[in-house]
Structure 1
Amino acid sequence: MIFVTGGSGLIGSFLIPALIARGEQVRALYRQHIPAVPAAEQVEWLQGDLLDPLLLRQALESVTHVFHCAGLVSYAPQDEDALLQINVEGTANLVDACLERPGIRLCHVSSVAALGGGAASEETLNTLPLVVTEDAKWDLGAAHAAYATSKYLGELEVWRGISEGLAAVIVNPSVILGPADWTRSSTRLLRYAYQEHRFYTPGTINVVDVREVVAQMLRLGLELPVRGERYILSAEAVPLRELLAQAARCFGKKPPTTAVPNWAAEVIWRLEHARGVLTGSRPLITKDTARAGRQPLVYEAGKVQRTTGLGFRPVADTIAWCCEELRRNVVASGAVVVS
């Protein structure tokens, strides 16, 4: 029996069908509505959340493997407490529940953000590319985004479990691309290209195909005896303008043409912060999102390729696949995309 958290998220929506296709028994956690994922009728769904320790202990009854995919991704100041609750406290609860069941294996989905590279600071922006590996150390003196801090602290909970005997492996994906709900998470990048927005920010973005994230997780979590290790999952670092342009071409749309200068981005996030404070609304751009990609980073994924023997497909192929699937979904649903 395999227990999956985050079944309605991007990774979960591809992981669960992959597990079912392998003939595995799957139990998955959901909060409000059972996700409309392929093979959902073959899943044992359990309603609840990560903040209920008793529920998690019950959920692990007869379970041999856990894939912890649930997590909150947000850069809005209003979500700082929620990030700590879900990404840290929730992970701690799951680790504690796993420790009560000797022999269970955990595959924890962290993030490259937890590696500490690229903390936002004006002094380090626009420097030479920095290559980041699994050996990167978290700089306690740097200014980190609340999301990055929550993923780092959540990962520490898994390392705590490992020190207490838990068989666990950690994966650190970069920005995951897949044809999911494009009003959420990283898929919004493709929606932005579809809507023919003119503006883009200079900089790079590290991306990976959701299918390859799932393939690596299955290999590490089910097939190999690795434990006490973390692995970067990232295919390539590409200029954001190039990614948006490729997506726009696949959609038959006009690509963005106007770069937002760094000084303008600095002004905009400050204005947005002030608007959020005055109105209580969520800022469209935060300091962290405005500065994202301006310090060139390359996340090196050689370790996982050497361990699993699995590679990564070209980013252009991933973009083409995502756009084709999203376009088909839009046509099928008759949806009207608005800005």
Structure 2
Amino acid sequence: MILVTGGTGLVGSHLLYQLVADDKPVRAIYRTEKKQEIVKRVFSYYSKDYLALFNKIEWVEANLLNIPQLSEAFKNIEHVYHCAAMVSFAPNDYHKLRKTNIEGTTNIVNLCISHHVKKLCYVSSVATIGDSENNRHVNEETHWNPEKDNSVYAITKYGAEIEVWRGTQEGLDAVIVNPGVIIGAGIWNHGSGEIFNKVYNGLPFYTQGHIACIDVKDVVKSMITLLESPIKNERFILVAEHMPYKKFLNYIAKNLEVKPPHIEAKSWMISIAWRLDWLKNKLTGTPRKLVKPMLKSTLNKTVYDNTKIKAELDFQFTPIEVCIKNVAKNFLKQA
């Protein structure tokens, strides 16, 4: 039996689809039944018989911080895909991020060990990869830099990775994947889906940075292949392409048949934007939307080396233009 955490997220829902399509016995953790509708929507993009596939999943209500609930979910489990995470770049969310991303992962690792799970696959992020000396080209061996102005999200995902590596020292076999920006259909109010939403609704700005991205289906394919392989206690960068933001946004606009962004957001404009957003938060309590690390990442031109995954698995990535075209098609179905 396979356990999937974060099954109602972008990666988790696509992973569940592939596992049940392959007729694998799957148990998935959920927090609210309402979020299961996301999974049904994702399944409907790929199969007319999506409800029958959805009903193959054994759902268990559990919170990553509730050990008794998790213990029930772990009964008779042999393999675990840990996709669950909180994503936020707002400094005010740091303690919530620590709870979910670090403490939650600690619980998953401990239960994997106590239940003699054969192998764990953990979904991390390129945010945990360090900087190279020239701040341009990094790989799996590049060390984390604690002195860098890291986002609270990156800090907690790195802390979660430490827990996975601690598990490997205690006998747990594990692999970690570090995806870039994951492009996929089904969730349109945050993550990459929100980018499609904003472009569709007239996003005017672009930056001169590059986006390191990958098709969600490639993330899932690599995860399954790695978990089922003899490879263990390794991490893998998952980035298909590095594309200029202007080109990336223009291609989304083209496939959504809307006007592309046409105003360059320069670095000084971005600096003013996050400061004004911070001030608005302090004066009115309005949740942060334009956080410094998130905005600075849109100016980033770091290159993430994907040689390792291609060499180990002979992996071929889906071209991002093909991915964008498919995601845009599904977006327009509900627009």
Q: State the TM-score bracket (shorter-chain normalisation).
A: over 0.9
If the length of structure 1 is used for normalisation, what is the TM-score? 0.92
Question: Which of 109, 118, 129 is the equivalent residue of 1:115?
Answer: 129
In the alignment, structure 1 residue 269 sits paired with structure 2 residue 274: yes
Query: Deviation of residue 232 (structure 1)?
Result: 0.5
In the alignment, structure 1 residue 187 sits paired with structure 2 residue 193: yes
Distance of 1:26 and 1:98 partners within structure 2: 16
Letter in 1 for 2:23: G
What SS does the corresponding residue of 2:55 show, helix, strand or coil? helix
1:253 counterpart residue number: 258
Distance of 1:18 and 1:219 partners within structure 2: 12
Distance of 2:102 and 2:13 partners within structure 1: 22
Distance of 1:198 and 1:239 partners within structure 2: 16
If the length of structure 2 is used for normalisation, what is the TM-score? 0.93
In the alignment, structure 1 residue 25 sits paired with structure 2 residue 25: yes
Residues 140-166 of structure 1: per-residue CA shift (max 9 Å, x gap): 222210000010000000000001110
Distance of 1:56 and 1:309 partners within structure 2: 35
Conserved in 1, the CA contact under 8 Å of 2:62 and 2:73?
A: no
Question: Which of 100, 115, 118 is the equivalent residue of 2:114?
Answer: 100
Which runs of 5 or more structure 1 residues have no equivalent in the other structure? Answer: 119-123, 331-339
Letter in 2 for 1:113: A
1:335 counterpart residue number: none
In the alignment, structure 1 residue 11 sits paired with structure 2 residue 38: no
Question: Which of 57, 65, 87 is the equivalent residue of 1:73?
Answer: 87
What SS does the corresponding residue of 1:66 show, helix, strand or coil? strand
1:314 counterpart residue number: 319
1:336 counterpart residue number: none
Deviating beyond 3 angstroms after TM superposition, the runs of 4 or more aligned structure 1 residues are none
What SS does the corresponding residue of 1:196 show, helix, strand or coil? coil
Question: Which of 175, 184, 192 is the equivalent residue of 1:178?
Answer: 184
Letter in 1 for 2:236: Y
1:197 counterpart residue number: 203
RMSD: 1.5
Question: Which of 323, 331, 334 is the equivalent residue of 1:326?
Answer: 331
1:333 counterpart residue number: none
Letter in 2 for 1:187: G
Distance of 2:113 and 2:124 partners within structure 1: 19
Q: Between Structure 1 and Structure 2, how many residues are aligned?
A: 321
Distance of 1:103 and 1:247 partners within structure 2: 41
Aligned-pair identity (%): 36
Letter in 1 for 2:239: S
Give matches, 1:38-187, under 5 Å. Answer: 38=43, 39-117=53-131, 130-187=136-193
Question: Which of 254, 273, 294 is the equivalent residue of 2:299?
Answer: 294
Q: Which moved more, 1:194-203 or 1:92-101?
A: 194-203
Conserved in 2, the CA contact under 8 Å of 1:92 and 1:154?
A: yes
Query: Deviation of residue 22 (structure 1)?
Result: 1.3
